[in-house]
Amino acid sequence: MPAKKYLRSATTGYPTEQAATVVSTGVTNGGDVVALDDTGRLDSSVLPVGIGADVAILAATEALTAGDFVNVYSNAGAFSARKADASNTGKEAHGYVLAAVTSGANATVYFDGRNTSVTGMTPGPVFLSATNPGKATSTCPTGSGQLQQRIGVAVAATEVNFEAVTPIVLA
Protein backbone atom coordinates (compact mmCIF):
# COMPACT_ATOMS: atom_id res chain seq x y z
CA MET A 1 0.00 0.00 0.00
CA PRO A 2 1.46 3.39 -0.92
CA ALA A 3 2.06 5.93 1.82
CA LYS A 4 -0.80 8.23 2.66
CA LYS A 5 -0.57 11.80 1.39
CA TYR A 6 -1.05 15.17 2.99
CA LEU A 7 -1.20 18.78 1.80
CA ARG A 8 1.79 20.99 2.45
CA SER A 9 2.33 24.67 1.95
CA ALA A 10 4.44 25.38 -1.13
CA THR A 11 6.37 28.48 -2.20
CA THR A 12 3.98 28.80 -5.17
CA GLY A 13 1.16 29.70 -2.79
CA TYR A 14 -0.80 26.58 -3.74
CA PRO A 15 -1.20 23.61 -1.39
CA THR A 16 0.78 20.69 -2.79
CA GLU A 17 0.07 17.00 -2.27
CA GLN A 18 3.02 15.17 -0.67
CA ALA A 19 3.49 11.46 0.15
CA ALA A 20 4.49 10.76 3.75
CA THR A 21 7.86 9.05 4.30
CA VAL A 22 7.78 5.35 5.20
CA VAL A 23 11.52 4.51 4.94
CA SER A 24 14.13 7.12 5.79
CA THR A 25 17.33 7.44 3.79
CA GLY A 26 18.88 9.77 6.35
CA VAL A 27 19.46 13.53 6.35
CA THR A 28 17.57 14.07 3.09
CA ASN A 29 14.37 13.07 4.91
CA GLY A 30 14.86 15.57 7.75
CA GLY A 31 11.56 17.26 8.63
CA ASP A 32 9.41 14.77 6.69
CA VAL A 33 6.03 13.60 7.93
CA VAL A 34 6.25 9.88 8.79
CA ALA A 35 3.72 7.18 7.79
CA LEU A 36 3.22 3.63 9.01
CA ASP A 37 4.33 0.76 6.72
CA ASP A 38 2.10 -1.98 5.27
CA THR A 39 2.14 -3.85 8.60
CA GLY A 40 0.79 -0.82 10.47
CA ARG A 41 4.12 -0.17 12.19
CA LEU A 42 6.91 2.36 11.93
CA ASP A 43 9.89 1.30 9.83
CA SER A 44 13.01 1.05 12.00
CA SER A 45 14.81 3.50 9.66
CA VAL A 46 12.72 6.39 11.06
CA LEU A 47 13.57 5.64 14.69
CA PRO A 48 16.44 7.21 16.64
CA VAL A 49 19.70 5.27 16.89
CA GLY A 50 19.46 2.74 19.72
CA ILE A 51 15.66 2.48 19.46
CA GLY A 52 14.05 -0.30 17.47
CA ALA A 53 14.95 -3.76 16.29
CA ASP A 54 18.37 -5.25 17.04
CA VAL A 55 19.48 -6.11 13.50
CA ALA A 56 22.52 -6.51 11.28
CA ILE A 57 22.70 -6.51 7.49
CA LEU A 58 24.74 -9.57 6.49
CA ALA A 59 25.51 -11.32 3.21
CA ALA A 60 23.52 -14.54 2.88
CA THR A 61 25.70 -17.43 1.69
CA GLU A 62 22.67 -19.51 0.72
CA ALA A 63 19.04 -18.76 -0.15
CA LEU A 64 17.05 -17.92 2.97
CA THR A 65 13.29 -18.18 3.34
CA ALA A 66 11.26 -15.69 5.38
CA GLY A 67 11.16 -17.03 8.95
CA ASP A 68 14.44 -18.97 8.74
CA PHE A 69 16.57 -19.06 11.88
CA VAL A 70 20.15 -18.19 10.93
CA ASN A 71 23.72 -18.68 12.04
CA VAL A 72 26.20 -15.79 11.85
CA TYR A 73 29.67 -16.95 10.83
CA SER A 74 32.93 -15.94 9.15
CA ASN A 75 32.95 -16.63 5.42
CA ALA A 76 36.60 -16.01 4.48
CA GLY A 77 36.69 -13.26 7.12
CA ALA A 78 33.38 -11.65 6.10
CA PHE A 79 30.44 -11.62 8.50
CA SER A 80 27.78 -13.77 6.83
CA ALA A 81 24.46 -15.51 7.50
CA ARG A 82 23.36 -19.06 6.68
CA LYS A 83 20.58 -21.38 7.86
CA ALA A 84 21.04 -22.51 11.44
CA ASP A 85 21.18 -26.30 11.78
CA ALA A 86 21.10 -28.47 14.91
CA SER A 87 22.35 -31.59 13.10
CA ASN A 88 25.94 -30.83 14.15
CA THR A 89 28.06 -28.24 15.94
CA GLY A 90 28.95 -24.79 14.65
CA LYS A 91 25.61 -23.77 13.15
CA GLU A 92 23.62 -22.70 16.21
CA ALA A 93 20.89 -20.07 15.81
CA HIS A 94 21.92 -16.48 16.45
CA GLY A 95 18.92 -14.75 14.85
CA TYR A 96 16.26 -14.94 12.16
CA VAL A 97 15.14 -13.29 8.92
CA LEU A 98 11.67 -11.96 8.14
CA ALA A 99 12.19 -11.69 4.38
CA ALA A 100 13.45 -14.18 1.82
CA VAL A 101 16.82 -13.44 0.20
CA THR A 102 18.83 -15.13 -2.50
CA SER A 103 22.36 -16.42 -1.99
CA GLY A 104 24.80 -13.49 -2.16
CA ALA A 105 22.15 -10.88 -1.32
CA ASN A 106 22.07 -8.89 1.91
CA ALA A 107 19.80 -10.22 4.64
CA THR A 108 18.40 -8.26 7.58
CA VAL A 109 19.09 -10.52 10.56
CA TYR A 110 17.04 -9.92 13.72
CA PHE A 111 18.64 -10.88 17.05
CA ASP A 112 15.60 -10.62 19.33
CA GLY A 113 11.87 -10.11 19.26
CA ARG A 114 9.12 -12.00 17.44
CA ASN A 115 9.74 -14.02 14.32
CA THR A 116 6.38 -13.47 12.61
CA SER A 117 7.23 -15.40 9.43
CA VAL A 118 7.00 -18.97 10.75
CA THR A 119 4.13 -21.44 10.33
CA GLY A 120 2.72 -24.48 12.10
CA MET A 121 3.93 -23.65 15.59
CA THR A 122 2.30 -25.18 18.66
CA PRO A 123 2.18 -23.44 22.07
CA GLY A 124 5.29 -23.76 24.20
CA PRO A 125 9.08 -24.08 23.90
CA VAL A 126 10.67 -24.12 20.45
CA PHE A 127 13.97 -25.77 19.50
CA LEU A 128 16.28 -25.49 16.50
CA SER A 129 15.55 -28.39 14.14
CA ALA A 130 18.17 -31.06 13.44
CA THR A 131 16.31 -32.32 10.36
CA ASN A 132 15.12 -29.11 8.70
CA PRO A 133 17.85 -26.40 8.48
CA GLY A 134 16.64 -22.92 9.37
CA LYS A 135 13.44 -24.20 10.95
CA ALA A 136 12.05 -24.58 14.46
CA THR A 137 10.39 -27.57 16.07
CA SER A 138 8.58 -28.32 19.30
CA THR A 139 10.52 -31.60 19.50
CA CYS A 140 13.91 -31.32 21.16
CA PRO A 141 16.72 -33.03 19.16
CA THR A 142 18.11 -36.18 20.85
CA GLY A 143 20.70 -37.62 18.44
CA SER A 144 24.37 -38.02 19.25
CA GLY A 145 26.39 -35.03 18.00
CA GLN A 146 23.27 -32.90 17.52
CA LEU A 147 22.64 -29.57 19.19
CA GLN A 148 19.91 -29.03 21.75
CA GLN A 149 19.16 -25.33 21.45
CA ARG A 150 16.00 -23.73 22.75
CA ILE A 151 15.38 -20.74 20.51
CA GLY A 152 12.23 -19.33 22.06
CA VAL A 153 8.56 -19.80 22.73
CA ALA A 154 5.74 -20.16 20.22
CA VAL A 155 3.14 -17.55 21.10
CA ALA A 156 0.94 -18.17 18.03
CA ALA A 157 0.88 -20.58 15.09
CA THR A 158 2.81 -17.96 13.11
CA GLU A 159 4.97 -16.36 15.82
CA VAL A 160 8.02 -17.37 17.85
CA ASN A 161 9.33 -15.06 20.55
CA PHE A 162 13.06 -15.53 19.78
CA GLU A 163 15.35 -15.99 22.80
CA ALA A 164 18.20 -18.30 21.90
CA VAL A 165 20.22 -20.00 24.61
CA THR A 166 23.66 -21.57 24.41
CA PRO A 167 23.28 -24.98 22.73
CA ILE A 168 24.23 -28.29 24.31
CA VAL A 169 26.12 -30.81 22.16
CA LEU A 170 24.59 -34.23 22.76
CA ALA A 171 26.89 -37.19 23.47
Q: Are residues 128 and 68 in the same domain?
A: yes
| Cα 38 → chain centroid | 16
Q: Are residues 115 and 161 in the same domain?
A: yes
Of 9, 31, 51, which marks where a domain is finished? Answer: 51
Angle at 52 between CA 71 and CA 84, to 5 degrees: 10
Q: How confident is the model at residue 1 (pLDDT cuts 50, 70, 90)?
A: low
Per the structure, the count of domains in the chain is 2
Q: Are residues 140 and 158 in the same domain?
A: yes
Q: Are residues 41 and 95 in the same domain?
A: no
Q: Are residues 82 and 47 in the same domain?
A: no
pLDDT tens for each residue of 116-130: 999 999 999 999 999
Full residue range of the structural domain in which residue 1 is found? 1-51
Q: Are residues 92 and 148 in the same domain?
A: yes
pLDDT tens for each residue of 84-126: 999 989 999 999 999 999 999 999 999 999 999 999 999 999 9
Q: Are residues 109 and 47 in the same domain?
A: no
**Cα dihedral sign for 65, 66, 68, 69?**
positive
- The pTM score is 0.78
6 CB-near residues (< 8 Å, 6+ apart): 17, 18, 20, 33
